Amino acid sequence: MRTGIKPQVVLVHGIGGPREVEAERREWKTALAEGARAAGHADAISGLTMDWSADTGFAHYADLFARKGAQGADAAGLDDEEVAELTLAVVSEVIEALLASPQYASDAQLKRLLVQAQPTPVNPAGLPKVDEGIGALARRASAVCTKLARVPGVQPGLQRISAAQSLGILSQPGRYLRRKEFAPLPDGRSASLDERIRARVLEQLDVRRPAIVIAHSLGSVVALEALAGYEGRVALFVTVGSPIAMNALIWQRLRPNPPAVPRTVERWVDFWDSDDPVVPLRRLTELMAPNAAGVRPEPVPLASRRLWTHPATDYLRRGEVAAPVMETLARLSAAS
């Protein structure tokens, strides 16, 4: 039975600076088209890229992290000790993941950075070293993030930008999860940074239309929380390079808690690359409570055999990622 309702695809980005939305939307769709071809869905590519089979929206929120007139640690939001602590937590998990890989296992610089990133750093003698002075934690977070961005082989995008910019990018998960930084909305209400970010995702969704949501990195955290109260049908939720299961930083701070699959999600596929240092070793399917329909995240491991795999387009070009998207899109389009 045809419904006459056109499906929607919503793309949610991860950490990084402000994007040119239309250019980024095209780039993600082009990468997904390559994955569709690899998955044997070449005949459906035009419907995807031309928005014939579904309307594609791009939820952009990176501009909300900008702090006008601020510089250095203030611009990154690290003037707050809680954000500095959260930033060190996520950087520690990333460094641990890198050191667990054969490529970085003996990297002395990364080992030193891991020590510096601990909540209570130690001195060369192995004794606890106490940071003194206001802003010490923020200064240490700034130093660790700057050094991490300069480690050979680490994500090239971070190496091409300034230390202040890389610090601002790496602090974004902590700033989102702190749930502060209030600002006025057009209707006169005051909303926290995380609320304003989730609103950008919900603005792209129409509760009257079935949706496919594809979320990358921090965007998977944002999308999960946004969908928790969403009333529309989500036929497919795809997460790629997701840090949701990061215990120290994210899992304990998710809302609602304990975390569960959103009520209206009909299928959730979680793709993670074994060479992606942002993805923790803990698996979502083992942690996330199912929704009332019994839906759980379906884990799909990938292997790129590269030094650093994390960009969204790296995932979308994979046939394994594109296959469920194209299959769901075909089913929804046939019913529209």
Query: Tens digit of pLDDT for each residue in 97-137?
Result: 888 888 888 999 899 999 888 866 555 555 555 555 557 77
Stretches where the chain sits below pLDDT 50 are 70-75, 157
Helix (H, G, I), strand (E, B) or coil at 251: helix
Helix (H, G, I), strand (E, B) or coil at 187: coil
Measured CA to CA, the distance from residue 76 to residue 38 in angstroms comes to 39
φ, ψ at 12 (rounded to 5°): -125, 115
- Strands 211-216 and 55-59, bridge-based pairing: unpaired
| pLDDT at residue number 54 | 95
CA 208 to chain centre: 26
CA dist 101 → 5, 12, 247 (Å)? 47, 28, 20
Q: What is the dihedral of CA 136, 137, 142, 147, to 10 degrees?
A: 100
- Residue 24 CB neighbour total at 10 angstroms: 18
Measured CA to CA, the distance from residue 25 to residue 30 in angstroms comes to 9
Conformation bin of residue 4: beta by default, left when phi > 0, alpha when psi is -120 to 50: left
Burial of 233 (0-12, 13-18, 19+ CB in 10 A): middle
| pLDDT at residue number 18 | 85
Place of tokens 């960009």: 311
Joined tokens for residue 148:
């991490």
φ, ψ at 235 (rounded to 5°): -70, -30
Place of tokens 């990468």: 31
Helix (H) or strand (E) holding 268: strand 268-273
Task: Decide: 284 and 297 in contact? Cβ < 8 Å.
Answer: yes
| pLDDT at residue number 308 | 59
Counting DSSP H helices and E strands in the chain, the numbers are 14, 8
Helix (H, G, I), strand (E, B) or coil at 4: coil
| pLDDT at residue number 72 | 47
| pLDDT at residue number 1 | 56
Q: Give domain limits for the chain.
A: 8-63+191-335, 72-178
Query: Tens digit of pLDDT for each residue in 196-243?
Result: 999 999 999 999 999 999 999 999 999 999 999 999 999 999 999 999
Q: Which residues are bridge partners to 236 per DSSP?
A: 212
pTM of this structure: 0.86
Which superfamily does CATH assign the domain made up of 8-63+191-335 to?
Alpha/Beta hydrolase fold, catalytic domain (3.40.50.1820)
